[in-house]
Every structure is written in structure tokens, then in C-alpha cells.
Amino acid sequence: MAFVSLPDKLYYYLKDELKSRPDLSMDLAVLILSFIINPFKNMNKGKDYVNLCSTALRKFNYRSYRYQDHLEYLQQLGILIMSEYSNRQDGKGKCRGFKISEKYITKY
């Protein structure tokens, strides 16, 4: 079992929005957001993008839940902002960059 921490405003907004979307998983949405928000704990909040690569994210698809559907919905809600593709550090492909909208980032 893992513990993931999200800002309260973000968590409760997401929880409320997902009530009407039984085709999406709160667990998978929170996991995706945790990949993006955790690197920001020691950075200027909301200014840098975090690369998420499809090859890594596919491992988190389960049952009928797909990470792509969650990323699209999080963007539709205005929670995620997506950048253009960027090169992977290992030179083996490209990844999309994502950041969480500043209105959901709690200032520490």
C-alpha cells in the first residue's frame, strides 16, 4: 500500500468531478497527479513540466481503466497543462510534459 499526498483543493475537486465518471478511477487519477506534483515539492511550484512517457504509464492501466483517458480528462478539467513532446534523457523516444495548474498548487 502506498500513500500519495495531493493538495486538499485538488483532491476534493477531483473527487467531486469523478463521481459522475464511473469509467475513470480515482486511484489512477491520483497516481498520475502524484507523478507530476511530487517533483515540485522542492521547486518553484507550477513553473516546470514533468515528462510522462507512455511506455512507463502503460504499466498502470488496469481493468478497463486507461491512463490516456485519465490524462485527457484531467486536461479537460483544467487540472493538467500539457507541453509539446520533449526528448527522453536516454535518447530513446519522446515524452509529453505535464504540469498542474497553479490554482491547485498549495503554496508551502
What was the pLDDT predicted at 56? 78
Residue 106 CB partners (closer than 8 Å, separation 6+): 7, 8, 9
What is the pLDDT, as a whole number, of residue 107?
Answer: 58
Residue of 94, 97, 76 lying closest to 29 (CA atoms) = 76
What is the CATH code for 8-104?
Answer: 1.10.10
Consecutive H or E run containing 35: helix 26-37
DSSP assignment letter at 80: E
Q: Give per-residue pLDDT as tens, 44-95.
A: 444 578 888 777 787 887 778 888 999 999 999 999 999 876 655 666 666 7
The whole model's pTM is what? 0.76
Q: In the numeric block, which cell numbers belong to residue 36?
A: 507530476
Instruction: Check pLDDT > 50 for residue 43.
Output: no
Per-residue pLDDT at 45 = 46
